[in-house]
């Protein structure tokens, strides 16, 4: 019997409850003390098409999914056809017997065919065939011998809002599915899930990346958010908006992305910690205003959650194509800071840290996430989101006491640091002009060459200071003296981390470098890590290897190899290892 490192995949058409069923099962597994990792693959349509929700449950913390599926919960024949070859020998497929699947073809693959009359059970036990997906979730718990009480708790919580009768019917459907699968299939299925008792003070949260980012932003004092909905950034806006009245936050859905960033710039100019969120297409519309924020030295935070492009691309697929874009966006040269979280914990930190950087350097800060990170859901230990580390740094913001004794205030004063004293509008001792034109220290528009040169140098000097003081070196994971070093950024980290673990377990010296602070690029902090590395391989979800190219431009160091993916899907550890075999002629097993 094999316990507590299982992958369950739920698949079917949009509208069949794939997402809700997967989310409910993730919650039930997490409440049993298991670490979970879940992600959804869905098409950009309301109904139809093929969607799936993949869940990995383990007794140890996990950061990625596995390609090997132990239990497939199929709502359609198409799902079986698409995913049956992912199911391991000895694994099982639970499906409605009404599908008429050829069980012999599955058994020939070493798969246990498990037909269950989901619709019939749902009608008899719950009163309606629409509860078939609830019945199926119960069956998944039954075949794995998982404690039904965890399933019951989640069903009562989810459906209790619709009334006791609705909750009771769904609970009856789930229990009937549980009992059926346990009686007919559990004995011959070797993969089991067991609850893991938590220590008395051990607490965990289930979060996805966008929720963590929104939570971090609120912890960091966000008081204004404006956005125009765009997948996959919308849930940041939804998360903060749902809690806006509770935490004194102003939320504004605007008519387009141009208005969204302008609203945020205006709110920040008035003194509020303000942000917006969008994806690549929406960020394209924000670019001119990005230059306005830089010219007026107004702090603003933009969460850019990448998806596959160009144009509309794959609206619901993942990629990392926008690094070069956000670094260089806007006509002219202007300062901005780019940070790219790689885990849900990183998203939380980026949410509050971005405001500190924006106000310290009085410039835009871009949080560069991606669809896969935004929607992946993990169980997080309470220590992972450390609120004690949250701090608020408002930079060179003048206090009321300082303003009282002020005379001859110059908003854009030339300083050695490049950072000028910032006063909020309204104080009689700090009246100034803010304009999108090049300007003097007082803010008046100018046309002369020498003042322009000095003001330009002042603004751009912020990048030098940020690189030295605040941009972090890469995080190293694995053997210090490694034969192989994998470079990554963003959501690729989870799969690369597991690759390193597998290689080390097989006796190979390997590590990874996770890059979070990408612009201004901290070249002098990065260089020692790269020079120590014996063989550098960049792993990225884009076509051109944008991190590898950035490293070469900034340090002159060329990576030895690249593993690139740009089909809209995230990397699996198995896929990276398969590519490493070609890259380094490594003879390692993917299991």
Residue 541 has, within 13 A of its CA and on its CB side, a CA count of 29
Angstrom distance (rounded) from CA 116 to CA 135: 10
What pLDDT digit, counting tens, does each position of 121-149 carry?
999 998 888 899 999 999 999 999 999 99
Give the 3-state secondary structure of residue 324: helix
Angle between helices 546-555 and 523-532 (to 10 degrees): 100
Angstrom distance (rounded) from CA 371 to CA 305: 6
Assess contact for 171 and 49: CB atoms under 8 A: no
Assess contact for 205 and 236: CB atoms under 8 A: no
Phi, psi of 138, deg, nearest 5: -60, -40
Q: What are residue 308's DSSP bridge partners?
A: 314
What pLDDT digit, counting tens, does each position of 547-581 carry?
999 999 999 999 999 999 999 999 999 999 999 98
Angstrom distance (rounded) from CA 523 to CA 553: 10
Assess contact for 491 and 373: CB atoms under 8 A: yes
What stretch of H or E contains 210? helix 209-219
| Signed CA dihedral, 442, 443, 445, 447: sign only | positive
Nearest to 186 by CA among 151, 155, 148, 153: 148
Assess contact for 274 and 264: CB atoms under 8 A: yes
Q: Which two tokens stand for residue 502?
A: 């597998």
pLDDT tens series, the chain, 591 aa: 777 789 999 999 998 999 999 999 999 999 999 999 999 999 888 788 899 999 999 999 999 999 999 999 999 999 999 999 999 999 999 999 999 888 899 999 999 999 999 999 999 998 888 899 999 999 999 999 999 999 999 999 988 888 888 999 999 999 999 999 999 999 999 999 999 888 777 788 999 999 999 999 999 999 999 999 999 999 999 999 999 999 999 999 999 999 999 999 999 999 999 999 999 999 999 999 999 999 999 999 999 999 999 999 999 999 999 999 999 999 999 999 999 999 999 999 999 999 999 999 999 999 999 999 999 999 998 788 889 999 999 999 999 999 998 889 999 999 999 999 999 999 999 999 999 999 999 999 999 999 999 999 999 999 999 999 999 999 999 998 999 999 999 999 999 999 999 999 999 999 999 999 999 999 999 999 999 999 999 999 999 999 999 999 999 999 999 999 999 999 999 999 999 987 766 544 444
CA distances to 229, 274, 306 from 278, rounded to whole Å, are 7, 14, 8
Query: What ranges do the domains of the chain cover?
Result: 2-192, 207-389, 400-469, 475-584
CA distances to 147, 221, 277, 354, 502 from 487, rounded to whole Å, are 41, 33, 27, 23, 16
Does the global pTM surpass 0.85?
Answer: yes
Domain 475-584 has CATH 3.40.50.920: yes
Angstrom distance (rounded) from CA 343 to CA 497: 11
Give the 3-state secondary structure of residue 379: strand
Q: How many CB atoms lie within 10 A of CB 200?
A: 6
**Phi/psi zone of residue 145: left (φ > 0), alpha (ψ -120 to 50 degrees), beta?**
left
Q: Which two tokens stand for residue 238?
A: 């939804």
Angstrom distance (rounded) from CA 466 to CA 196: 45
Nearest to 216 by CA among 273, 286, 270: 273
Rounded to 10 degrees, the C-alpha dihedral 181/187/189/193 comes to 80
Question: What is 207-389's CATH topology?
Answer: Rossmann fold (3.40.50)
What stretch of H or E contains 487? strand 484-489
DSSP structure class, residue 254: -
**Phi/psi zone of residue 187: left (φ > 0), alpha (ψ -120 to 50 degrees), beta?**
alpha
Angstrom distance (rounded) from CA 190 to CA 467: 53
Q: Which CATH class is domain 2-192?
A: alpha beta
Q: If 0-12 CB within 10 Å is exposed, 13-18 middle and 19+ buried, where does residue 273 land?
A: buried
Rounded to 10 degrees, the C-alpha dihedral 15/20/25/28 comes to -160
Pairing between β-strand 377-381 and β-strand 204-208 as defined by DSSP bridges = antiparallel
* Cis-peptide, bond into residue 249, ω within 30° of zero: no
Q: Which two tokens stand for residue 123?
A: 């009608």
Angstrom distance (rounded) from CA 276 to CA 338: 15
Q: Which two tokens stand for residue 466?
A: 């940020």
Assess contact for 55 and 22: CB atoms under 8 A: yes
Give the 3-state secondary structure of residue 14: strand
Assess contact for 37 and 378: CB atoms under 8 A: yes
Phi, psi of 165, deg, nearest 5: -65, -45
- Looking at 97-211, which runs of residues are DSSP E strands? 112-116, 191-192, 204-208
List alpha helices for 144-202, DSSP H.
148-159, 164-184
Assess contact for 480 and 360: CB atoms under 8 A: no
**Hey, do 207-389 and 475-584 end up sharing a CATH topology, with the first three levels equal?**
yes
Phi, psi of 407, deg, nearest 5: -140, 150
Q: Which two tokens stand for residue 321?
A: 């194509």
Q: How many CB atoms lie within 10 A of CB 167?
A: 18
């Amino acid at each position: 019997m094999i316990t507590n490192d299982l992958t369950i995949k739920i698949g079917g058409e949009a509208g069949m409850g794939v997402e809700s069923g997967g989310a409910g099962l993730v919650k039930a597994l997490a409440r049993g003390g298991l670490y979970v990792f879940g992600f959804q693959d869905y098409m950009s349509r309301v109904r139809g098409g093929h969607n799936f929700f993949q869940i990995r449950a383990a007794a140890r913390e996990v950061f990625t999914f596995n390609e090997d599926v132990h239990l497939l919960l199929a709502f359609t024949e198409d799902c079986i056809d698409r995913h049956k070859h992912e199911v391991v020998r000895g694994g099982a497929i639970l499906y409605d017997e009404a599908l008429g699947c050829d069980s012999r073809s599955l058994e020939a693959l070493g798969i246990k065919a498990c037909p269950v009359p989901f619709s019939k059970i749902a009608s008899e036990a719950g009163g309606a065939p629409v509860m078939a997906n609830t019945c199926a979730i119960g069956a998944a718990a039954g075949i794995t011998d998982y404690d039904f009480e965890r399933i019951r708790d989640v069903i009562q919580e989810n459906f209790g809002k619709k009334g006791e009768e609705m909750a009771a019917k769904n609970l009856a459907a789930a229990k009937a599915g549980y009992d059926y699968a346990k009686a007919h299939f559990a004995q011959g299925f070797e993969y089991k899930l067991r609850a893991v008792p938590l220590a008395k003070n051990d607490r965990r949260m289930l979060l996805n990346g966008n929720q963590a980012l929104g939570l971090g932003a609120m912890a960091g004092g966000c008081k204004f958010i404006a956005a125009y909905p765009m997948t996959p950034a919308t849930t940041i806006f939804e998360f903060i908006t749902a809690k806006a009245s509770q935490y004194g936050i102003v939320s504004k859905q605007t008519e387009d992305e141009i208005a969204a960033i302008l609203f945020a710039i205006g709110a920040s100019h008035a003194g509020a910690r303000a942000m917006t969120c969008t994806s690549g297409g929406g960020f394209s519309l924000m670019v001119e205003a990005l230059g306005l924020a830089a010219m007026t030295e107004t702090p603003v935070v933009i969460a850019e959650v990448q998806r596959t492009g160009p144009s509309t691309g794959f609206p619901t697929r993942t990629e990392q194509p926008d690094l070069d874009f956000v670094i260089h966006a806007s006509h002219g040269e202007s300062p901005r800071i780019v940070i790219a979280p790689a885990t849900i914990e990183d998203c939380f930190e980026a949410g509050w840290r971005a405001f500190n950087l924006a106000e310290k350097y009085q410039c835009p800060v871009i949080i560069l996430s991606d669809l896969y990170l935004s929607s992946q859901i993990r169980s997080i230990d309470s220590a992972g989101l450390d609120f004690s580390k949250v701090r608020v740094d408002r930079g060179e913001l003048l206090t009321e006491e300082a303003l009282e004794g002020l005379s001859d205030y110059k908003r854009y004063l030339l300083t050695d640091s490049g950072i000028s004293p910032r006063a909020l509008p309204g104080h009689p001792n700090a009246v100034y002009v803010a304009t999108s034109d090049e300007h003097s220290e007082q803010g008046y528009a100018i046309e002369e060459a020498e003042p322009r040169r000095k003001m330009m140098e002042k603004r751009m000097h912020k990048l030098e200071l940020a690189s030295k003081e605040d941009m972090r070196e890469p995080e190293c994971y694995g053997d210090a003296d490694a034969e192989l070093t994998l470079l990554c950024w963003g959501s690729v980290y989870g799969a690369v981390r597991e690759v390193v673990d597998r290689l080390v377990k097989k006796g190979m010296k390997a590590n990874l470098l996770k890059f979070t602070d990408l612009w201004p690029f901290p070249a002098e902090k990065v260089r020692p890590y790269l020079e120590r590395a014996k063989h550098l391989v960049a792993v990225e979800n884009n076509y051109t290897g944008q991190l590898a190219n950035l490293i070469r431009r900034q340090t002159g160091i060329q990576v030895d190899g690249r593993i690139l993916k740009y089909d809209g899907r995230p990397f699996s550890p198995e896929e990276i290892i398969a590519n490493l075999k070609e890259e380094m002629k490594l003879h390692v097993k993917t299991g």
